[in-house]
Amino acid sequence: AVSPRQYDRHYAPHTPAYRFLRAQWRGVQDWAGAHGPVGLLSQADDVHLAAPHETVRMPENEQAYARCLYSALRELDEKSLAAIVVLMPARHDGVWAAVADRLRRASVELPL
């Protein structure tokens, strides 16, 4: 039997989900304005979107982030948004590597 984790899109929400890097934030804001309303997952205080968009503030601790990732995606997925955008974590070590892998499986790169 094949494990569901082997499927790249196993963790993907029904709402189109896109990931972006911190350096792309200005472009993401413009993109959201043109494609909104969108949901945003962000662990950075200064990366947030105002209404009509929805921002879910993610924990800065990697263990806590990993624990609440899927519930946060589900929360946004249930809001009938045009898209979900996810700020990729800046760190890539330890648990952050697993978080980044889950985010890659749940999203595609934002076409900026």
The mean pLDDT of 63-89, rounded to a whole number, is: 95
Please tell me the predicted confidence (pLDDT) of residue 10.
53
Cα separation, 79 vs 38, in Å, equals 9
Tokens 């249930």 locate to 78
The residue type of 107 is S
Lay out the sheet containing 108-109: strands in order across: 54-57, 38-42, 83-87, 17-20, 108-109
Which of the four pLDDT bands, split at 50, 70 and 90, describes residue 36?
A: confident
Of 44, 40, 51, nearest to 22 (Cα)? Answer: 44
Q: Determine if the pTM surpasses 0.85.
A: yes
Is residue 108 over pLDDT 70? Answer: yes
Question: DSSP class of residue 13?
Answer: -
Tokens 């984790």 locate to 5
Please tell me the predicted confidence (pLDDT) of residue 11.
63
Bridge partners (DSSP) of residue 38 are 83
H-type alpha helices, 36-107: 62-77, 95-106
Name the helix (H) or strand (E) containing 29: helix 25-35
Please tell me the predicted confidence (pLDDT) of residue 23.
97
